[in-house]
């Protein structure tokens, strides 16, 4: 049976699974569900992306002359985490390297995922530690899928993304070819706002490397949610045309560039921890139901 932890406060409630340390439910005080419920269009909710974000060429990680098979977004999302602690305000889970992970990712690591409610928001902090003697190269990302339409909205039309404090007229996006970062595409903004429509995702995800913002607001005109992050320097936006979700994805790292094929530690955008070091990455979401 799936091991779940339920917690919350007066502003929201959440359910976390030990499978993938994944957020499975996010509800407002009225009981409305704000998280995509893993329908047939996409069978996940909010996977943790580690130790890569996106894809490597031929799903192959090269290290010291040896090739290791590492598939899209890494293995954390399909791994069983151990509970470190659980209480009424949240939980903490841990995944550490093992003989099985070293077959595909030949590095020592500890990944702690902490989920907490407070101040009207749900916060997720990922902490990566290098317990080994060699440097630890990695990427990490969040992939929460929120309901589209938002609760209380009659349809998927009329939704938009607002990037507070972002002083630019276009999003300098990159598109994917065979899962790898390829051509640039400038996506126009109007007063810092992007209308959300299926045509945005006909060519897969929108990849925003080096994204300067740290906040995003997804709104139906009545209801909205606000997401903030720290430590993540890239952003992904993704849906499937016609599907009932929109993924807002803070990343530290992206898929490999098309045409790149080198040692994993030399991958553009990789983060590297020296022995004994740790790094933390945080995102949070606040729900603003219609009428609030």
Residue 5 clears pLDDT 90, i.e. is over it: yes
For residue range 223-270, what is the model confidence (pLDDT) as tens digits?
Answer: 999 999 999 999 999 999 999 999 999 999 999 999 999 999 999 999
pLDDT of the residue at 170: 96
Rounded Cα gap, residues 2 and 121, in angstroms:
25
Three-class SS of residue 201? helix
Confidence tier at 1 by pLDDT (50, 70, 90): very low
CATH classification code of 4-288 = 2.70.98.10
pTM: predicted TM-score of the whole model, two decimal places: 0.97
Beta strands in 178-255 (DSSP E): 180-188, 193-195, 206-208, 215-219, 224-230, 234-238, 245-252
147 — alpha (psi -120 to 50), left (phi > 0) or beta? beta
Confidence tier at 292 by pLDDT (50, 70, 90): low
Q: Are the CB atoms for 129 and 164 separated by under 8 Å? A: no
Rounded Cα gap, residues 262 and 257, in angstroms:
11
Rounded Cα gap, residues 288 and 292, in angstroms:
6
For residue range 90-114, what is the model confidence (pLDDT) as tens digits?
Answer: 999 999 999 999 999 999 999 999 9
Rounded Cα gap, residues 71 and 57, in angstroms:
10
Domain boundaries, the chain: 4-288
pLDDT of the residue at 251: 99
For residue range 212-228, what is the model confidence (pLDDT) as tens digits?
Answer: 999 999 999 999 999 99
Tell me how many degrees the CA angle 14-228-253 measures, rounded to the nearest 5: 100
């Amino acid at each position: 049976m799936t091991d779940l932890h339920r917690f919350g406060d007066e502003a929201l409630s959440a359910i976390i699974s030990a499978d993938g340390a994944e957020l499975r439910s996010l509800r407002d005080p009225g009981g409305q569900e704000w998280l995509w419920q893993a329908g047939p269009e996409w069978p996940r909710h909010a996977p943790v992306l580690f130790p890569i974000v996106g894809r490597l060429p031929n799903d192959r990680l090269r290290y010291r002359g040896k090739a290791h098979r590492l598939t899209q977004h890494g293995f954390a999302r399909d791994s069983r985490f151990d509970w470190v602690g659980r209480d009424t305000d949240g939980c903490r889970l841990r995944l550490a390297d093992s003989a099985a992970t070293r077959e595909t990712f030949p590095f020592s690591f500890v990944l702690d995922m902490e989920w907490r409610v407070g101040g009207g928001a749900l916060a997720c902090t990922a902490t990566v530690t290098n317990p080994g003697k060699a440097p630890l190269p990695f990427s990490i990302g969040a992939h929460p899928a929120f309901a589209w339409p938002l609760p209380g909205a009659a349809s998927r039309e009329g939704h938009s993304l607002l990037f507070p404090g972002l002083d630019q007229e276009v999003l300098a996006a990159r598109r994917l070819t065979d899962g790898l970062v390829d051509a640039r595409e400038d996506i126009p903004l109007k007063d810092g706002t992007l209308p959300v429509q299926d045509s945005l995702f006909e060519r897969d995800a929108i990849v925003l490397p080096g994204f300067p913002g740290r906040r995003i607001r997804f709104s139906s005109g009545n209801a909205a949610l606000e997401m903030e992050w720290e430590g993540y320097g890239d952003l992904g936006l993704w849906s499937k045309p016609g599907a009932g979700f929109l993924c807002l994805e803070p990343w530290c790292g992206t898929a490999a560039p098309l045409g790149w094929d080198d040692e994993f530690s030399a991958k553009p955008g990789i983060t590297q921890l020296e022995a004994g070091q740790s790094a933390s990455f945080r995102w949070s979401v606040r729900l603003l139901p219609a009428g609030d």
